[in-house]
């Protein structure tokens, strides 16, 4: 896993988006840290994390055959 995001980034991201406010958050700080860690990991290793992502289009993915 990547390094822990810096405090300023976590503080900024902990300000919930409107849809997050509706859903609520028990711990916005922890949520922000987890989101930023995952984002940093994807930025640092886009090809490596593409295989793990359920949000990445199939284009460019290694395929094991027809779905």
Q: What is the DSSP string of 7-43?
A: HHHHHHHTS--HHHHHH--S-HHHHHHHHHHHHHHHH
Q: Where are the domains of the chain?
A: 7-44
Query: Token pair for residue 35?
Result: 């989101």
Give how far Cα 63 sits from Cα of 13, 45, 55, 67, Å. 35, 19, 16, 9
Q: What is the enclosing helix (H) or strand (E) of 54?
A: none
pTM, two decimals, is: 0.61
pLDDT of residue 5: 84
Residues 16 and 42: their CA atoms lie apart, in Å, by 21
pLDDT of residue 1: 47
pLDDT of residue 66: 54
Q: Report the chain (67 residues): mean pLDDT per 10 consecutive residues.
A: 78 91 92 91 83 65 51
């Amino acid at each position: 896993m990547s390094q822990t995001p810096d405090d300023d980034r976590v503080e900024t991201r902990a300000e919930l988006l409107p849809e997050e406010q509706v859903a609520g958050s028990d711990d916005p700080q922890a949520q922000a840290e987890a989101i930023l860690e995952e984002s940093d990991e994807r930025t640092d290793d886009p090809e490596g994390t593409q295989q793990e992502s359920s949000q990445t289009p199939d284009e460019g993915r290694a395929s094991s055959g027809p779905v």
